[in-house]
Structure 1
Amino acid sequence: MENKIATPSGTKKILREYNLNLKKSLGQNFLIDSNIIDIITAASAIEGDEFVIEIGPGIGSLTQAVLEKLDEGKLLAVEKDAEMVRVLENIFAGEEKLTLLNQDALKIDWNEIAAEYNTENRKIKLIANLPYYVTTPIIMGVLESELELEQMVFMVQKEVGERICAGPETKKFGSLSVAVQYHMQPEIVHQVPSSVFIPQPDVDSVIVSLSPYEQNIYQEEVISKKFFFQIVKSIFQQRRKTLRNSLSKSAVINLDRDLVTQALEDEGIGIKKRGEKLSISEMISISNRIYKMRKEN
């Protein structure tokens, strides 16, 4: 395809040609700046022979660019809106590298999808321009599936991207930061103004890249993943309280105050310290110690 979709004229032409009415309920905002598309594909480091999953292709702005990068690789585009799927089928008719899947990304078993469509066991990369209202559940759904990803690059609301990448002792560090960083290493690679979308959203966006750790010490050290995330949720549900109070008065998990006090002392962490000041490794150490102490009692 010679004409770029990710331009004002290219996008408007498709919207007009297919008489498309954008669905606000699905968070449909289309990129009209090919430079942003180039930044996303560059961050994805597509080499040409991967299995790429795209979530929410819309009218194919990013789809078009990814297909141009793929030589022997395959692209699976997952789109919830059946009307958009019909448009994509027309725009990319005859494109053998592309498979369109009309499904809700929130309900997909990603391991089953990989097994069904990535039959040649290619490296897997995932890209997405995510609707703001489902950003977190989609990201966490992919990460918790433990799909073996070489790279994950997505565009999200700026505030969400900053929360994902935030570190300890910052206001934006929270449960989402820990949950994402437990699985992969995030980085904001570019700031994106609202002006590059049709229609324009009310907020700016960022492009976030997630890369696998060379060695994921977090997952290696955690005794119980379920218990660890109960501890994390307890810490940030009452982030202004001291660590002892937020854990011993948690609505998420029932912990004895004396046990919490002893665990914190054993870890060399002051009982008046707030949980938001802890590193992920410190949270894991506390979680492991409390978990062991509960088992012994």
Structure 2
Amino acid sequence: MDLCSYSEITALLKRHGFTFSKALGQNFIVNKTVCPAMAESLHAGSGTGVLEIGPGIGVLTKELCTVAQKVVAIELDRRLFPILEETLAHCGNLEIVEGDALKTDLNALIKEKFADMDEVKVCANLPYYITSPIIMKLIESRLPVSEIVVMVQKEAADRLSAKIGTRDCGALTVAAQYYAKIEKLFDVSRGSFTPRPKVDSAVIKLTVRNKPEVTVQNEDRFFEIVRAAFAQRRKTAANSLSSALLLPKSTVVNALEQIGKSEKDRAENFSMQDFADLSALL
């Protein structure tokens, strides 16, 4: 079965009485080059386990099963299970589990399912609406994984992979790059999916750091400072921090001066180390 053929997908879904759920952000890949490229970018092999989030009808899953020793796919939509049983019947190294990746204890799942693997990686075509929360969960949870390859909305990919200290940088950029080195691999046009989304996508790779990019005294405060600094992008960092943290502006300005920043600087002009230093002062 050609899982990238629109006519075959239509017949498959009709046979199982399946209709797309807008609430779950379901868009299935019909571009034949995307999933093989994603699977190859993992550099998986014997001894590699791959956790897939949201297998859909199995287009990416099939490719993962050809490169990894074991694949575990977590799927929220129970209606897809009989479809996956049909499309992936030949994949003997696959296990599908029902669950919501945002609510599931992924650490426990990985320890249970991949105990005999040398390494574990994550791969997914993420629904746009859970991009930020799922990526932050994957890296904040300190999962025993070395790499994460995901397809996300192009705007999110550009923001996540942006250089810190530039205009394209945001709070998510700093938070994600604190935990991982992020590389944008390739763009994916909106015509690569059915139903066709309104925006383009891109594939990024997150290589998890052995230790965070900078040393901070209190991670919770560090992330609070980062969020506060970017909370009002049109304002200076001094005004945004003062407003979000309910601190006197003079206190914020004094802290900024101690790290060599002006009250006129915006958050996009800060380095990762600037945020770390600031979190120790405020």
TM over 0.5: yes
Q: Identity of aligned pairs, percent?
A: 35
Given that 2:27 and 2:194 are in contact with CA atoms closer than 8 Å, whether structure 1 keeps it comes out as yes
Given that 1:155 and 1:208 are in contact with CA atoms closer than 8 Å, whether structure 2 keeps it comes out as yes
What does 1:78-227 align with in structure 2 at a 5 Å threshold? 78-93=74-89, 95-213=91-209, 216-218=212-214, 221-227=215-221
Distance 2:148 2:164 in 1: 23
Aligned to 1:48: 46
Aligned pair partner of 2:246 in 246, 254, 274:
254
Distance 2:203 2:92 in 1: 28
TM-superposed CA distance for 1:271, in Å, is 2.2
User: What secondary structure is seen at the aligned counterpart in 2 of 1:154?
Assistant: strand
User: What secondary structure is seen at the aligned counterpart in 2 of 1:203?
Assistant: coil
| Alpha carbons of structure 1 residues 4 and 67: separation in structure 2 relative to 1, 3 Å | farther
Aligned to 2:260: 268
User: What secondary structure is seen at the aligned counterpart in 1 of 2:102?
Assistant: helix
Distance 2:165 2:143 in 1: 31
Given that 1:158 and 1:203 are in contact with CA atoms closer than 8 Å, whether structure 2 keeps it comes out as yes
TM-superposed CA distance for 1:169, in Å, is 4.8
TM-superposed CA distance for 1:15, in Å, is 2.0
Distance 2:217 2:5 in 1: 50
Aligned to 1:294: none
TM-superposed CA distance for 1:10, in Å, is 4.1
Given that 2:184 and 2:202 are in contact with CA atoms closer than 8 Å, whether structure 1 keeps it comes out as yes
Aligned AA for 1:233?
R
Aligned to 2:269: 277
Aligned pair partner of 1:235 in 226, 229, 238:
229
Aligned to 2:5: 7
What does 1:13-52 align with in structure 2 at a 5 Å threshold? 13-52=11-50
Aligned AA for 2:251?
L
TM-superposed CA distance for 1:236, in Å, is 0.6
Distance 1:38 1:61 in 2: 9
TM-superposed CA distance for 1:34, in Å, is 1.8
| Alpha carbons of structure 1 residues 168 and 115: separation in structure 2 relative to 1, 3 Å | closer
User: What secondary structure is seen at the aligned counterpart in 2 of 1:25?
Assistant: coil
Distance 2:168 2:67 in 1: 35
Partner deviation per Cα, 1:91-123 (whole Å, 9 max, x = no partner): 333643111111111111111111221121431
Distance 2:19 2:34 in 1: 24
Query: Structure 1 regions of 5+ residues with no counterpart?
Result: 291-297
Query: What's the TM-score once normalised by structure 1's chain length?
Result: 0.88
Aligned to 1:293: none
Partner deviation per Cα, 1:199-243 (whole Å, 9 max, x = no partner): 11111110111112365332xx11111001111111111222222
Distance 2:32 2:106 in 1: 29
Distance 2:140 2:64 in 1: 25
| Alpha carbons of structure 1 residues 110 and 131: separation in structure 2 relative to 1, 3 Å | same
Distance 1:105 1:229 in 2: 23
Q: Give the total of aligned pairs.
A: 282
Aligned AA for 2:4?
A
Moved over 4 A (4+): none
TM-superposed CA distance for 1:131, in Å, is 0.8
